Amino acid sequence: MKKAARDLCVFKTPAVKAGFILISILAVDFMVLFAGGTEFAFTHLMYIPIILSAFFFGIKGAIVAALLAGISLGPWMPVNVKLGVMQSSGGWALRTAIFVLTGTVLGDLMRQIRINMETRLQRSWINEDTGLPNIKKLKMDIDDRIRKREEFSLVVVRITNLDHINRYVDYRVGEKAVFKVIGSLESLMGRNVYSVFPNEVAVILPGYGLERAYAAARKFQESFQKPVVIGKLPVSLITKCGISNYPLHGGDPVDLFKTMGRTLDQDRFDGQGIAVYDDSVSRKNKEKYETLIALYEALKNDEFTLVYQPIFDLNSNKIAGAEALLRWENSRNMNTAEFIQIAEDAGIIGEITKWVLENVICQLKKWQEQGVKIKASINLSPRDLKSDVILRHTENSMQTVEAGRNMLDYELTERVLIENISEVEELLRRIRAAGSKILLDDFGTGYNSLIQLIRLPIDCVKVDKAFIDHIDKESCRILIQEIISTAHQLGKEVIAEGVETEEQMLLLKKMKCDQIQGYYFSKPLRPEEFREFCVSFDLLNV
């Protein structure tokens, strides 16, 4: 907006400004002449070019304009044109003197205003705590260098434990720690240091390529390997450096500024705690963002479908149920686990789970009407367990479609750490009381398998495919056998996931695994295919 206003402004060059002032003076002269002479009020209009001149050119400009204005209204300008009465020299000289005085005062006033504004502007570029230029100034300086096409590297330093120091040691120690970092940067990399955030400083290294900048950052990191003494207190500062370079990492000032800021967030630090900007990470983040938008659209436009993978019971030789798995046509070459992860990170997984839930319940009802009475399990994300929304939604949906109870189970992945374990425990008990079973999915791939098995009200353990893949190895067989026996002793059933061969199936049967799921028995099927599969399977097993 401001820029647009600036573009519209016609007074772009000093010559145009001076020209306008001269024309204004002449215009006033003509007006005075046509109005009948200086005894009429139009001489006061001469203050306009004087004010403009003070504004454009300061004191000197205002004085020159005032002299020109005074002289142009001088000896040849009649007091009264009609009567042919001319001015006295004292009269026009006095007027000229008043114009000059006014111009001087106005010019000085403008100068004061300018200085004031300048000081304010300068202040808005300074970080009050450190006295260093701030992020605004950093952005301007980066823009400036890019405009001049000067190569530079930017090192951004974050003190990752500053918050901790402020909170648990003393904020004054924290303040001094920031100055230690600034001091070290200034001595190693020069004076172009900026305060970006309370725990972040940046330094522009003019003419530095990536390698040189990396070497400087390494020296800086080394200087903080040992605790630094702050007020007799040894304090360990944990610092991380992110490095980016112009022109290597882009030429658009806006993009480059964002790029540079992101280096520290890419979490790709080497052993020295230094990360060099990597555009592939940014590209991935952009893709993630686009996928997220597309996921919202998919929910709105009903682009999701469900497939059902049969689960086979090794004891009864029957189909024990099915796992509902989400599919998205427009998944941009991403597999289900990948787009589910994006939905989880963005916090829209709850909406997806609701969609899955409603559709599975409808499908179960449809199959029931077609004579196929089968159970299905759906996958829950740990985020779904933060409230009882899903439980309430299940109850409502069940009522609407009047599907039988005990037909819907829930799979809870073991890969992710459950933070609020007591609340989850309570919620799972309520889900079970409502007639559903809880299956612990991907068992063995997380880092808290056993404790979850003991603490949470689990009915069934799904041994992850990673174990089944190596079932031909004795050590893996021992482990699987242990999992099966332990689960059985704890009164839980076991499903083996990802069973692909007859050999694997036979070994699992020997180990008394209860059920299997995998390509050996069937791939995930579309609803109609699944119904046909169940019908033909039943016929074969009569």
Judged by CB under 6 A, the residue of 88, 389, 519, 526 near ligand C2E is: 519
**Stretch touching Mg ion by CB under 5 A, among 16-24, 292-300, 371-379, 525-533:** 371-379
Q: Are the C-beta atoms of 307 and 526 separated by less than 8 Å?
A: yes
Subset of residues 424 to 443 that bind Mg ion, contact rule: CB under 5 A:
441-442
Q: Which two tokens stand for residue 192?
A: 């172009």
Judged by CB under 6 A, the residue of 142, 165, 326, 357 near ligand C2E is: 326
Residue 162 vs residues 131, 165, 487: alpha-carbon distances, Å: 19, 5, 46
336 binds ligand C2E (CB under 6 A): yes
102 binds ligand C2E (CB under 6 A): no
Judged by CB under 6 A, the residue of 413, 436, 452, 504 near ligand C2E is: 413
379 binds Mg ion (CB under 5 A): yes
Q: What x/- string results for residues 298 through 327 when contact with Mg ion is judged by CB under 5 A?
A: ------------------------------
Judged by CB under 5 A, the residue of 29, 200, 411, 514 near Mg ion is: 411
**Stretch touching ligand C2E by CB under 6 A, among 195-203, 262-270, 274-282, 335-343:** 335-343
Residue 518 contact, options ligand C2E, Mg ion, none, Cβ 5-8 Å cut-off depending on partner type:
ligand C2E
Q: How far apart are CA 335 and CA 136, in angstroms?
A: 41
Q: Are the C-beta atoms of 241 and 217 separated by less than 8 Å?
A: yes
Residue 337 contact, options ligand C2E, Mg ion, none, Cβ 5-8 Å cut-off depending on partner type:
ligand C2E
The nearest distance, CB 356 to ligand C2E, in angstroms, is: 4
Name the residue with the smallest CB distance to ligand C2E.
Answer: 518
514 binds Mg ion (CB under 5 A): no
Bridge partner residues of 309 (DSSP): 323
The nearest distance, CB 430 to ligand C2E, in angstroms, is: 19
Side-chain-side CA neighbours of 13 within 13 Å: the count stands at: 3
Q: How far apart are CA 223 and CA 498, in angstroms?
A: 51
Q: In what order do the strands lie in the sheet with 193-197?
A: 193-197, 200-206, 152-159, 239-246, 274-276
The nearest distance, CB 464 to Mg ion, in angstroms, is: 6
H/E element, 26: helix 14-35
Judged by CB under 6 A, the residue of 518, 527, 531, 534 near ligand C2E is: 518
Judged by CB under 6 A, the residue of 359, 524, 525, 533 near ligand C2E is: 524
Bridge partner residues of 319 (DSSP): 312
Judged by CB under 6 A, the residue of 500, 501, 509, 529 near ligand C2E is: 500
Q: How far apart are CA 504 and CA 511, in angstroms?
A: 11
Residue 335 contact, options ligand C2E, Mg ion, none, Cβ 5-8 Å cut-off depending on partner type:
ligand C2E
461 binds ligand C2E (CB under 6 A): no
Q: Are the C-beta atoms of 471 and 477 separated by less than 8 Å?
A: yes
DSSP character string of 397-456: HHHHHT--TT-EEEEEESSSPPSSHHHHHHHHHHHHHTT--EEEEEETSSS-HHHHHHHS
Query: In the block, which residue shows the tokens 């967030």?
Result: 265
Subset of residues 480 to 509 that bind Mg ion, contact rule: CB under 5 A:
497
335 binds ligand C2E (CB under 6 A): yes
CB of 261 or CB of 498, closer to Mg ion? 498
The nearest distance, CB 228 to ligand C2E, in angstroms, is: 46
Q: How far apart are CA 157 and CA 179, in angstroms?
A: 13
38 binds Mg ion (CB under 5 A): no
Q: Are the C-beta atoms of 257 and 154 separated by less than 8 Å?
A: no
CB of 98 or CB of 337, closer to ligand C2E? 337
Q: Which two tokens stand for residue 313?
A: 């019971």
Longest CA–CA span in the chain (Å) reads: 130
CB of 132 or CB of 380, closer to ligand C2E? 380
Who's near 101: CB < 8 A, 6+ residues apart?
none
Best CA proximity match to 17, nearest among 69, 60, 52, 46: 52
Q: How far apart are CA 508 and CA 525, in angstroms?
A: 23
Q: Tell me, what DSSP letter sits at residue 226?
A: S
The nearest distance, CB 525 to ligand C2E, in angstroms, is: 11
Q: Which two tokens stand for residue 170?
A: 């003393």
Q: What x/- string results for residues 430 through 459 when contact with ligand C2E is judged by CB under 6 A?
A: -----------xx-----------------
CB of 186 or CB of 459, closer to ligand C2E? 459
Q: How far apart are CA 309 and CA 321, in angstroms?
A: 8
Who's near 31: CB < 8 A, 6+ residues apart?
42, 45
The nearest distance, CB 345 to Mg ion, in angstroms, is: 19
The nearest distance, CB 479 to ligand C2E, in angstroms, is: 18
Mapping DSSP onto H, E and C, the string for 232-251 reads CEEECCCEEEEEEEECCCCC
Provide the binding-site residues for ligand C2E, judged by CB under 6 A: 309, 325-326, 335-337, 340, 356, 379, 381, 411, 413, 441-442, 497-498, 500, 517-519, 524
Provide the binding-site residues for Mg ion, judged by CB under 5 A: 379, 411, 441-442, 497
